[in-house]
Structure 1
Amino acid sequence: MTARRFKGRFAGKVLIVTGAAQGIGRAVAIRAAQEDGQVVFVDRADFVADTAAEVPDAQTAAFNADLETWEGAAAAMRFAAETFGGIDILINTVGGAIRMRPYGEFDPPQIDAEIRRSLMPTLYCCHAVLPHLVARGGGTIVNVSSNATRGIHRVPYSAAKGGVNALTQSLAMELADRNIRVVATAPGGTEAPPRRIPRNADGDNEAEKGWMGEVVRQVKQSSLMKRYGTIEEQVAPILFLASDEASYITGSVLPVAGGDLG
């Protein structure tokens, strides 16, 4: 007797996951494909295609784009719509603090770089996906923010993620009557494998290593559970919010940080 195969939560859905080459984005995209979604893995790293090929028998595609530009975001959305016939769900995971240092130690170009990295890809992708979701008759956007809107040594990053929270709440109000939900998670510190491409290509100097240690201590102390989360503990709420199980949730930013609300 052949075992019955149950369809996953994302059967019949087309998802775009940004930042899908590594980290939380990679894990989200792989799990969505395992749950029968048609998934477009988007990243500016060339090895995103290798990541997209990791799920046997899944319907996946990969696209290289610089999402810090509107043109890159729009190209990614066009590719997904042309490849799978439309878009149902966008999950924005691109972001992450490039440097850890007291605010007064940041140079103006470094401040600009933090905002470009952790706000603009989400802002641009939300804008670029809208015509595709409207054409589909509705859909869902899940933004990955951070509880670091209250934290030390990363003020520009914190400001960028505060912008993601405001974007989520305002856009949800604006799009509710178009059958489009906009939600976010706010992860805390998360244990992850070493990045193949580091956020700070110049490497950390000795002072930055010290400031990073202070951040780690603050993050663990602020968490009621006194620890970092796992990648799996971040993926589950992201995909819950993306799924039809969360159909009556919009405009919410869900902290996933062991009790630290940010």
Structure 2
Amino acid sequence: MTMQRFAGKVVVVTGAAQGIGRGVALRVAAEGGQVVLVDRADFVAQVAAQAPEASAVGFVADMETYEGARAAMVFAAQRFGGIDVLVNGVGGAIRMRPFAEFEPAQIDAEIRRSLMPTLYACHAVLPHLLRRGRGTIVNVSSNATRGIRRVPYSAAKGGVNALTQSLAMEYAEHNIRVVATAPGGTEAPARRVARNPEGDSAQERIWMSEAVRQVNESTFLKRYGTIDEQVAPILFLASDEASYITGTVVPVAGGDTG
């Protein structure tokens, strides 16, 4: 093992302004990588500035649109001369409520938030990886493919898992690995951008507490994980240490496989 696992590599991390994505991006930079931090929050540039000088740059893009995904990959390739690794960190449940209580537009919003950015980014990065003749994609999925109060989100992350496996099979002949982690509940600092901009009603807060209780009861370790505990396996899968791993979704949820 080397703590310069990403020396000479260009890594794009989406959803990098906060949470797991932020942790991944800063660790990659600390391990020698050149990093493009992508987020639709404009303070992503402030996060990039915390990395070693000249090793990281922020890029503002809405990854829920294909144009945003394409623009991010073009920027990264032009800035650093190509792309070696993509870490897809955009996603997250917007609301938690019984499925019958979701409105159709809310279902669409969950799919758009937690499936489409990964689908779009994978498609947009492929020409750059093919040009390199190799590459790695790490998708951040979720063990909430089995869970309560977030069925649309679960469906979106199930799509990420299927995408990971199918894309890995299709592009293995091009020396492109596609893998994923499936985080469980994770303790994180307060979000600077709200999960649900409309705010949660009193009833929604009750439903959320029910989901949190289910997560804690389902994990063998009976606790949430930490950001560092989620970042470490992502970095391993993104590195050459995992060169014989592809098409795999690794649960990182204290024993709950989702």
TM range (shorter): over 0.9
What does residue 147 of structure 2 align with? 151
| Conserved? CA contact 2:29–2:52, under 8 Å | no
**Alignment of structure 1 residues 222-261 onto 2, 5 Å:** 222-261=218-257
1: CA distance, partners of 2:41 / 2:70: 17
What does residue 27 of structure 1 align with? 23
**Alignment of structure 1 residues 172-191 onto 2, 5 Å:** 172-191=168-187
Letter matched to residue 19 of structure 1: G
Letter matched to residue 113 of structure 1: A
2:163 matches 1:167: yes
Offset of residue 140 of structure 1 = 0.1
Letter matched to residue 9 of structure 2: K
After TM superposition, which residue ranges in structure 1, 4 or more long, deviate above 4 angstroms? none
2: CA distance, partners of 1:90 / 1:198: 25
| Conserved? CA contact 2:7–2:32, under 8 Å | yes
The superposition leaves residues 183-225 of structure 1 with CA deviations (integer Å, 9 ceiling, x where unpaired) of 0000000000010011100111000000011011100000000
Offset of residue 7 of structure 1 = 6.4
Letter matched to residue 11 of structure 2: L
2:55 matches 1:55: no
TM-score by length of 1: 0.97
Q: CA RMSD in A?
A: 0.8
What does residue 88 of structure 1 align with? 84
Letter matched to residue 221 of structure 1: E
Letter matched to residue 27 of structure 2: R
Percent identical pairs in the alignment equals 75
TM-score by length of 2: 0.99
Letter matched to residue 23 of structure 2: A
What does residue 41 of structure 1 align with? 37
2: CA distance, partners of 1:204 / 1:238: 31
Extract unaligned runs of 5+ from structure 2. none
Extract unaligned runs of 5+ from structure 1. 1-5
| Counterpart pick for 1:79 among 75, 78, 84 | 75
The superposition leaves residues 91-139 of structure 1 with CA deviations (integer Å, 9 ceiling, x where unpaired) of 0000000000000000000000000000000000000000000000110
What does residue 3 of structure 1 align with? none
| Conserved? CA contact 2:171–2:177, under 8 Å | yes
**Alignment of structure 1 residues 207-226 onto 2, 5 Å:** 207-226=203-222
Letter matched to residue 110 of structure 2: E
SS at match of 1:183: strand
What does residue 61 of structure 2 align with? 65
The superposition leaves residues 23-80 of structure 1 with CA deviations (integer Å, 9 ceiling, x where unpaired) of 1000000000000100000000000000000023351111100010111000000000
SS at match of 1:238: helix
Number of matched residues?
Answer: 257
2:187 matches 1:197: no
